[in-house]
Amino acid sequence: MSADTTPDIVLSLEIDDPALADRLATLLGNVAGLRLAAPGETANATIVARDPRVIPEDIALTQRELDVLALMAEGASNKMIARQLNISVHTVKFHVGSLLDKLDATGRTDAVAHAARRGVIEL
């Protein structure tokens, strides 16, 4: 059986819920052809289950705010965003201000980080 050219698939677990993690570990431990990763071992794949309570938080952002946010995530300055969207720098600041409020951020960097964490934008 060791002549198989494909070794066991190694899986690592990243589960918030301890009970679920336990059940999965038990179930998967008895499956031939795969095994769970040893501590520090590099896995072929990871089983993830984040706390679902975090996900439904989609903030109510207007289309324009999403436009500005996307450009912010690209590292664009207010001036560049203004040029890109054909609006004034003042308007960009206006939208950035709303973004900081809605995302509960202290600055544009924080805003992008929060947005990414909440899945509002994709890096």
- The count of residues interacting with its own copies (CB under 8 A) is 37
Smaller CB distance to its own copies: residue 85 or 105? 105
Nearest to 78 by CA among 65, 67, 70, 68: 68
CB contact set of 55 (below 8 Å; sequence gap of 6+): 119
- Rounded least distance, CB 73 to DNA, Å: 12
Q: Give the helix ranges, DSSP H, for 30-88.
A: 63-73, 78-85
The pattern of x and - marking residues 32 through 61 that bind its own copies according to CB under 8 A reads xxx---------xxxxxx------------
- Rounded least distance, CB 10 to its own copies, Å: 10
- Please state, in angstroms and rounded to a whole number, the distance separating the CA atoms of residues 121 and 104: 15
Binding site for DNA (CB under 7 A): 60, 62-65, 77-79, 85, 87-91, 93-97, 100, 107-109
